[in-house]
Amino acid sequence: MTYRAPARDLAFTLDIVGCPSRLGQAFPDLDADTVTAVLEAAGALADNALAPLNRIGDREGARYENGRVTAAPGFDQAYQAFAAGGWNGVAADPAHGGQGLPKALELAVFEMFHAANMAFSLCPMLTQAAIEALAMNGTDRQKRLVLPKLISGEWTGAMNLTEPQAGSDLAAVSTRADPDGAGGYRLTGQKVFITWGDHDMAENICHLVLARLPDAPPGVKGISLFLAAKRLIDDEGRAGALNDLRPGSIEHKMGINASPTCVMLYEGAQAELVGNLNEGLAHMFVMMNAARLQVGMQGVGIAERAFQQSLVFAQERRQGRAALSTDYPATLYDHPDVRRMLMLMKAKIEAARGICLTAAVLSDLASHSDDEGQRAAAAARRDLLIPIAKAWSTDVGVEVSSLGVQIHGGMGFIEETGAAQHYRDARIAPIYEGTNGIQALDLIGRKIAMEGGEVLKTLTAEILATAQTLSRSPALQPLGAGLIQGVAALDAAADWLLANRGLASMAGATPFLQLAGDVVGGWVLGLQALAAEGQAAPWLQAKAPLARFYAAHVLSHAPGLAQAVMAGAQDLEAVPAEAL
């Protein structure tokens, strides 16, 4: 169950994607020493407080009894240490008690928390989303009384969207909000799959809930967003009597067993409106976009955890003769196929990490740049990358953790080694915060069409320029060639999608997202390899062979993926369900 927080690798990737260099104007006090100090402090918490609880949490789980949820053993103390460190407020507004650092640095910090203990980190991750939603759309009262408590970690946040009949289709939300005659509302209904909807680690839980007024228009246009706290909040910001909401049960799941997934019952619960009536879905998307980028980083974190454990196991376990060693028995690491798997794991982790942190830097520029044109361009590219960051990175989490089980062999299928837990935990991430299929539809339906396709064209032109630079380096020429081929495939597939809408394009959405992630990931690895040229440190010298490996084993699939995009709808209607 080995884990070492990769502060060094995170600092390197942050530097490559522009934190702090591109953010100096918005964050004048930010420098490399600050980045390193924050990452090392977060890494210490991840290593010493969170990682040791990962296996305990999986085995013991959260518990539901007498209408309340108790966190897994040790989680309360770990949460108090988390809150005392100020980790909820890394990027929050100093006006409300935050530290005012970039979102990119916050996201890097959370990779380590996700890797150390994914089930634990879901709680503060959702609090982060609540902070963003209230900071943007909350009332003055909510910002004054609630935001500081969320930022300090005294209270936590939860997101309440899904209902038994309304999963991804939020138009079907039926939870009712009745005006109470005193400026507030009473919520009645049931929400399901509510992560950390109840627990005993904090004094209060602030639920952001989608509901509709009795006279609201049907569909998504009639949904509003409400704040309903577990304990009622008085005008001094104190948590008082219990509200009329409660968990009805918690789910028994495949993984993340220490994260209580609640059925929440609203039985006339007192609530406040957040933002404008009937604009709740737009307000909630502030939370969802923040959560989607965090979930992408969850994929990176769980992949890093699985990789580290697999690497140690492969170096220690000896089995048979190996082509890469004269020792007998040889370590697993010296068997070519095991080393292939480990290199693929490492290359994809670094690519996914780079994609997520690139999107985070763009988010910072979109929010804080003094240049209006830069803000708009950064926001557009961020919006293009978020579905890729969420979906591609969580698919990497599943792939890498599955390879981790494979490297362990039969031992990986045994729970005691811990390899299976990483795979079980990782498997939820492609499903929640918008399934990866939904991310793919968003990418082809909205994002590549932005500005007539120019947002994507600008990105691929930048990737192509990097590819041409790579091609001039003998050590990196294979990656340059792979990226040139990948960009050609991506541009051709995007042009086809823009010209062919409806079923034809929808059927090709998922292979297109994979293609986009493969190409952008290769670009990130290329930038890293260029920055590492001439460096003496072994871990930097490894950047070039990893990049070449990625070109051979990932980018080589680009033409086939483009073909799958353009032929995706063929025969979908030819085989009825009863014939399968």
Extended beta strands in 94-184, E state = 155-160, 176-179
Our separate counts of H helices and E strands in the chain read: 20, 11
In the chain, the amino acid numbered 134 is L
How is residue 3 written in tokens? Answer: 């884990």
Q: Find the helix packing angle between 336-368 and 280-316, rounded to 10°.
A: 150
Please state the three-class secondary structure of 417-475 as a single string: HCHHHHHHHHCCCCCCCCCHHHHHHHHHHHHCCHHHHHHHHHHHHHHHHHHHHHHCCCC
Active site residue 433: yes
Contacts of 376 by beta carbon, 8 Å cutoff, 6+ apart:
366
Phi-psi label, residue 145: left if phi above 0, alpha if psi -120 to 50, beta otherwise: alpha
How is residue 282 written in tokens? Answer: 């737009």
**Residue for token digits 């990893």?**
546
Task: Give 90's Cβ-side CA count (13 Å radius).
Answer: 25
Query: Taken in order 23, 25, 26, 32, is the CA torsion positive or negative?
Result: positive
Query: Taken in order 37, 41, 46, 47, is the CA torsion positive or negative?
Result: positive
SS3 230: coil
**Residue for token digits 């871990």?**
539
Nearest to 311 by CA among 341, 276, 268: 341
How is residue 190 written in tokens? Answer: 């049931």
Q: Looking at 433, 451, 462, 533, which residue is catalytic?
A: 433
Please state the three-class secondary structure of 45-57 as a single string: HHHHHHHHHHHHH
- C-alpha span between 139 and 119 (Å, rounded): 31
- C-alpha span between 102 and 368 (Å, rounded): 9
- C-alpha span between 17 and 241 (Å, rounded): 47
In the chain, the amino acid numbered 553 is H
- Do residues 86 and 106 make contact, with C-beta atoms less than 8 angstroms apart? no
DSSP 313: H
Question: How many angstroms separate the Cα of 487 from the Cα of each of 109, 456, 459?
Answer: 31, 11, 10
Residues noted as catalytic:
433
